[in-house]
Structure 1
């Protein structure tokens, strides 16, 4: 687990093999992440749960996330403000052989008490840095259409790929569209192109 400090904000980058799988070690994280998730749900966040979702279901989800981290299937980044959990985000690299350059950004959450303080931007910047380290050149994500999150992603250089209507439903049964975004990470992509060119030249001799 790596820590990145920025004045009162601290980012924890949680990934294998630095994270040792121990339920006691992860239990506090799961409790705090579950509380963060519930706080966001209560404000109407479309993140796979409803206000009526049980606390057990939310906690089980986060245990599954830590299992995926242990298996090197995800990287989890947690933000703290003055020692209190403020937000989180996940990076999930694609598993297909022809998509090793691609990853999905999942569950960008910021606690209602920590919003408008740059937490989301710092988390997304950390995602891009970690993606570059992992030689990922394409990020994809989706978010509920017409949400505040769209403004954030667009400000960070993400481009709209398309919109799907009736993608999710809320507590009342009303349907909402989702918008897919992508971002090409130029330095990493350029490095990939250079490696391909070098390999091609080497194969000619």
Structure 2
């Protein structure tokens, strides 16, 4: 059974290695999520430690999915701290361990992240995804709209420069 939960810094610290395992597996599987070397565990752990350190502020929230108490998926809501952007947030690091895919976990995490953001008064969500990735279809099915595409945006683990698609969703409540 999959359990979904928001983690604060105290709750996230003990699962730092599990968060790293999910990110590392997704990068090794070819995900375009900011990392190009799945073997660079130090960079992955440093990334997650930085996120954990920011969880108790108003910078971001971390939601996870657990299967038998092991973290198998993540999504972050990164809040804009600028005075003119307090109404918006970015969805990032939607990661599902390759061994846990095709079970609806990403869809459920996205629905929970949206609800969480709306409940905090956010009225605009944005995200970006590698153009053509399967994730694009998930986001479209959840009501996100395409804002545009930027070519040669991010380097893949194969060294190729891939385009990214920017998407948004307005709170319809």
Deviation string 1:100-152 (CA, Å, 9 cap, x unpaired) is 11000010000111111010011001111101110001000000000010010
Residue 167 of structure 2: SS of its match in structure 1? Answer: strand
Superposition map of 1:4-153 within 5 A: 8-15=1-8, 19-20=9-10, 26-153=12-139
TM-score norm. by structure 2 comes to 0.95
Gaps of 5+ in 1: 1-7, 188-205
Q: Following TM superposition, by how much is the alpha carbon of 1:183 offset from its aligned partner in structure 2, in angstroms?
A: 0.3
Q: Distance in 1 between matches of 2:117 and 2:13?
A: 27
- Whichever structure has more helix as a proportion of its residues is 1
Residue 26 of structure 2: SS of its match in structure 1? Answer: helix
Deviation string 1:12-70 (CA, Å, 9 cap, x unpaired) is 1124xxx44xxxx6443110000100100111000110135510110000000011112
Q: Distance in 2 between matches of 1:90 and 1:53?
A: 23
Residue 186 of structure 1: SS of its match in structure 2? Answer: coil
Gaps of 5+ in 2: none
Q: 1:193 maps to what in 2?
A: none
Structure whose alpha-carbon radius of gyration is higher: 1
TM-score norm. by structure 1 comes to 0.80
Q: Higher relative contact order at CA 8 Å, sep ≥6: structure 1 or structure 2?
A: 2
Q: 2:150 maps to what in 1?
A: 164
Question: Number of paired residues?
Answer: 173
Deviation string 1:50-107 (CA, Å, 9 cap, x unpaired) is 1355101100000000111122211000101232222000001111111111000010
**CA gap 1:161/1:30 in 2 versus in 1, 3 angstroms:** same
